[in-house]
Structure 1
Amino acid sequence: MSTNTRNNAPLPPVICLFGPTAVGKTDLLEELFSTSGEIISADSMQVYRQLDIGSAKPEPSYLQRMPHHLINILDYKEQFNAGDFVRRAEECILDIHSRGKLPVISGGTAFYFRNFLYGLPDIPPVPEGLRDELNLRLEKEGPQALHRELETVDPETAQRLEPADRARIVRALEVFKGCGKPLSSYKAGTSPREDLEYLLIGLERPRVELYERINLRVDIMFNQGLYKEVKDLFTGGAKEDDPGMKGIGYSEFFPFLKEGCMILADVKSRIQQNSRRYAKRQMTFFRSLPEVNWFHPEDMEGLGEMINNFTKKRS
């Protein structure tokens, strides 16, 4: 069983526009929605302040022209999960609609879309203090020990988590110890929420073209000063297990900064490789969704017609 966060009160119509990293979402949004809509960012890295270049965050001048929500709202040490996203997104949808604008959720974080479209799992509250106890154990025993414990009590969740996924391991153990059931037993819905009217638009490019764009974008990030951005964060106290430091474009730097066991060119290559792998995983998920209307980002005529038909029927 799954739920939304508003006791099934209907939401205004919303457009969900998604695609893999570097497919070309940002430029397209301004062309399609500069006068009619506002964007709700579904990007797990762009929620964090100071993570600008590595998250491919839009420039401030762009954000002034094209209003975005859920960007620059948290410190990189703070957690932000799918449940937080769904609650914040629903608030944004109501706010945007109240001002006569069209809410558009856009990004590439697949589990944000999954939980928004299908509803959140009904996980009961856990006792206060349990997470603090587990975090203390994490510091004393290390992530490997907690991951082994998770393999015993919730092998399904443990299989999809790496020992480096500290916060998620703690959350899974917290649910098991606090609720008496493994996290994997709490499932999101398998059919779309009944309180939601939406249009799903997926953006895609041929794989060779997409991978070339990914490699080029990482080159541009380094030219824009990505190394300095991460070095300044590291000097300012950022740690490898901070939530914001786990993303692609940031985590790859830590072996270089801490131990000096990599050269900078290898860091860049690893970011490019991880980004390509991430894009492949994104597309696997997005293609599993029903009712997606797929477009090449340069098909402005087809995109415009699809969006106009959706909005006209609801005006």
Structure 2
Amino acid sequence: MAKLSAKYSREPLTVKSTSKPLTCSNPFESVVFLFGPTGVGKTELLLDLDPEKYSVVNADSIQVYRHLDIGSAKANTETLQAIKHYLIDVYDPWQQFSVGDFVAYADEACREIHAQGKIPVLSGGTAFYFKHFYFGLAEAPPSDEGVRQRLAEEIRVRGDAWAFERLTQVDPLSAKRIHPSDMYRVSRALEVYEGSGRPLSSYKIPSTPRNGMKPLILGLWREGDELKQRIALRVGQMFAEGLVDEIRRLIEMGASESWPGLQGIGYKEFFQARKSGEASLSMVREQIDRNSRFYAKRQMTFFKSFASVHWMNPKDKREILSLIEGYR
């Protein structure tokens, strides 16, 4: 695997570190998890971290894609220059980036960050990235390109509703865990069943942390009404910053709703509207806002399944930074 300093950062940064090397030899022993629902304020907090001591490993499933900047609320140039980021702009949006890819690249990033005498901070809202990075991957069969392409074509013809109904028939346990609109995970579960004859839920995820990992786990939360307001403001800001123009550029590139990177909220609504030919721009905006709120609820449900989480309100910034500084 190539070194991550240039390839897996949005812009190569040169930061002279004065930090002393970590006392532990295990690059995974000292890791900070910083997670929370969309719009809670994770990025703002990262700006207060000391770049001489910490580097950020992106744990957002859409921000790994190039060309998807505004709709994914990707960190801006100021933030990327303030503190080193890994796993930003890793793949093109027509490429599949799996949870296995994330774990492999995040592992390499942690090794590089540790070698610099710093602590990696995994920050994002893709809950299953954190889960599989922490505990490892289920012993499910690897992705089968032929099966995946056949399923993708069948879903394109029959529709997303058919795919989820099919999943409820062959793997009801996975269907309970996966939201009907999360077509990446629906497709993956169907792919496993079609390829192996076993439901994905029958492959168990390890229950103990891997690599001797002892992370500091920080979960950010806000009151429901406040989070709704922040999400609405965030959606409005995306449109003000040029989200529609970003969509136009993607269409000029030949983008289609089948691209893996365009399954995320903020993108799929446009391509669904384009396919139906019925939705107005205001309706698309309302759908993005509504889907973001529903997604935030699902994120919190998943994150609450983690043990030993320090749940903090981002307003308590001093206490949060104190916890991080005290962890080494």
Q: 1:71 is paired with a residue of what secondary structure? A: coil
Matches within 5 A, 1:147-226: 147-161=164-178, 167-193=184-210, 195-226=212-243
- Partners of 1:246 and 1:213 in 2: how far apart? 22
Confirm or deny: 8 A CA contact 2:63 2:89 kept in the other structure: yes
Work out which of the residue numbers 280, 284, 290 in structure 2 matches 1:263. 280
Deviation sequence 1:181-203 (CA, Å, 0-9, x none): 21111121344336212100111
Relative distance call for 1:57 and 1:146 in structure 2 (3 A) is closer
- TM-score scaled by structure 2? 0.84
- Partners of 1:128 and 1:253 in 2: how far apart? 27
Q: 1:201 is paired with a residue of what secondary structure? A: strand
Q: 1:265 is paired with a residue of what secondary structure? A: helix
Relative distance call for 1:260 and 1:296 in structure 2 (3 A) is same
Q: Alignment RMSD, CA only?
A: 2.4
Relative distance call for 1:297 and 1:138 in structure 2 (3 A) is closer
Confirm or deny: 8 A CA contact 1:12 1:94 kept in the other structure: no
Work out which of the residue numbers 76, 83, 93 in structure 1 matches 2:100. 83
Gaps in structure 2 of 5+ consecutive residues: 1-25
Deviation sequence 1:111-139 (CA, Å, 0-9, x none): 11111122211124476744344445555
Deviation sequence 1:158-196 (CA, Å, 0-9, x none): 455577655544433332243332111112134433621
Confirm or deny: 8 A CA contact 1:12 1:93 kept in the other structure: no
1:236 pairs with 2:265:
no
Relative distance call for 1:244 and 1:304 in structure 2 (3 A) is same
What is the letter of the counterpart of residue 154 of structure 1? D
- Partners of 1:202 and 1:181 in 2: how far apart? 34
Relative distance call for 1:283 and 1:140 in structure 2 (3 A) is closer
Confirm or deny: 8 A CA contact 1:42 1:112 kept in the other structure: yes
Aligned counterpart, 2:291? 274
Aligned counterpart, 1:304? 321
- Partners of 2:187 and 2:323 in 1: how far apart? 43
User: What is the CA distance between 1:222 and its match in structure 2?
Assistant: 0.6
- TM-score scaled by structure 1? 0.87
- Partners of 1:162 and 1:283 in 2: how far apart? 14
- Partners of 1:259 and 1:130 in 2: how far apart? 27
Deviation sequence 1:222-262 (CA, Å, 0-9, x none): 11111111122123211112111111111111243344412
1:26 pairs with 2:43:
yes
1:46 pairs with 2:63:
yes
Confirm or deny: 8 A CA contact 1:10 1:195 kept in the other structure: no
| Sequence identity percentage | 47
Number of aligned pairs? 303
Relative distance call for 1:264 and 1:35 in structure 2 (3 A) is same
1:97 pairs with 2:105:
no
- Partners of 2:276 and 2:98 in 1: how far apart? 30
What is the letter of the counterpart of residue 279 of structure 1? A
Confirm or deny: 8 A CA contact 1:14 1:102 kept in the other structure: yes
Aligned counterpart, 2:304? 287
Matches within 5 A, 1:128-139: 129-135=146-152, 137-138=154-155
Aligned counterpart, 1:249? 266
What is the letter of the counterpart of residue 189 of structure 2? A
Comparing 31-40 with 134-143, greater Cα deviation is found at 134-143
- Partners of 1:145 and 1:17 in 2: how far apart? 36
Aligned counterpart, 2:21? none
1:115 pairs with 2:143:
no
User: What is the CA distance between 1:35 and its match in structure 2?
Assistant: 2.6
Comparing 63-72 with 298-307, greater Cα deviation is found at 298-307
What is the letter of the counterpart of residue 263 of structure 2? K
Relative distance call for 1:166 and 1:17 in structure 2 (3 A) is closer
- Partners of 2:106 and 2:269 in 1: how far apart? 30
Comparing 171-180 with 55-64, greater Cα deviation is found at 171-180
Work out which of the residue numbers 123, 136, 157 in structure 2 matches 1:106. 123
Deviation sequence 1:68-104 (CA, Å, 0-9, x none): 1111011111111222111111111011101111111
- Partners of 1:139 and 1:276 in 2: how far apart? 27
Q: 1:120 is paired with a residue of what secondary structure? A: coil
